[in-house]
Structures are given as structure tokens and as C-alpha cells.
């Protein structure tokens, strides 16, 4: 009887793990949409004065939600919010994601002067 209960418990645990893995797989984006080197789910910055079509190699890619401080970003850069699920991003004048101005919705591009920008924030949907 103990062996049967132990086997049942193992089966139930395995079934729960399979359901959990299935749920995690569904949370992924509908397609892997890498855009000019910017991975799906990321917010990317290309080098100063570079057109992403001509040089598909972003210098910065951010994948985690929250504030990310920038350093040595001067002049005009292309920035893409390549996140999915409605996640947004904002360009902020202060470090730590404060005094934010320009907001980027999902799939939105901007060509902006990053000289006064000191951080970027990635927001959950």
C-alpha cells in the first residue's frame, strides 16, 4: 500500500511539473522577432549615428524589468522597444529611472539624443 501511495505521489508530482512547464511555454512570445540584432523581449540601443538597417548590431540590450543606468551614451541613437505582451520602456533624465520623459510602447522606435538621458526603465505590462 505504501509503495502504491508513493508511486501515486510521484506521478502527481510529475504531472504537476508537466502542467507548469506547459504554462511557462505559453508565456513566451508568439514568434521570435529579432529586429536588426535586437532580440525579442529586449530594449536595444544602437551606436551613435548608426542606422540599424546598415549595422544590425545594437551596443546595448536590456532584458529585465526595472531601471538600467546608461553610461557614455552621447548624441543621437536609435532605440527600439522589442518587448512583447504590451511591455513598455521609458527614457529618463536621472539615474535610477527617475524624471522620465519619452515613453516607448511595444515595437516603438525613437531616434533621440541620449546626451541628457541617464537611465532607461523597462515596464511590465
Domain boundaries, the chain: 1-29, 31-123
- Judged on CB neighbours under 10 Å (0-12, 13-18, 19+), 104 is buried
H helix runs in 1-125, sequence order: 2-26
Q: Which three cell numbers stand for residue 113?
A: 539624443
pLDDT tens-place string over residues 93-107: 999 999 999 999 999
What is the pTM for the complete model shown? 0.74
Average pLDDT over residues 110-116: 98
Query: In CATH, what class is 31-123?
Result: mainly beta
Amino acid at each position: 500500500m505504501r509503495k502504491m501511495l508513493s508511486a501515486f505521489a510521484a506521478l502527481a508530482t510529475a504531472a504537476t511539473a508537466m502542467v507548469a512547464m506547459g504554462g511557462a511555454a505559453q508565456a513566451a512570445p508568439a514568434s521570435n522577432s529579432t529586429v536588426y540584432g535586437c532580440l525579442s523581449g529586449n530594449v536595444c540601443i544602437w551606436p551613435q549615428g548608426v542606422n540599424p538597417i546598415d549595422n544590425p548590431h545594437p551596443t546595448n540590450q536590456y532584458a529585465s524589468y526595472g531601471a538600467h543606468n546608461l553610461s557614455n551614451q552621447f548624441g543621437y541613437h536609435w532605440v527600439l522597444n522589442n518587448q512583447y505582451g504590451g511591455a513598455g520602456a521609458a527614457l529618463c533624465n536621472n539615474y535610477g529611472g527617475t524624471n522620465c520623459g519619452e515613453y516607448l510602447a511595444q515595437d516603438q522606435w525613437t531616434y533621440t539624443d541620449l546626451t541628457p538621458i541617464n537611465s532607461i526603465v523597462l515596464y511590465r505590462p
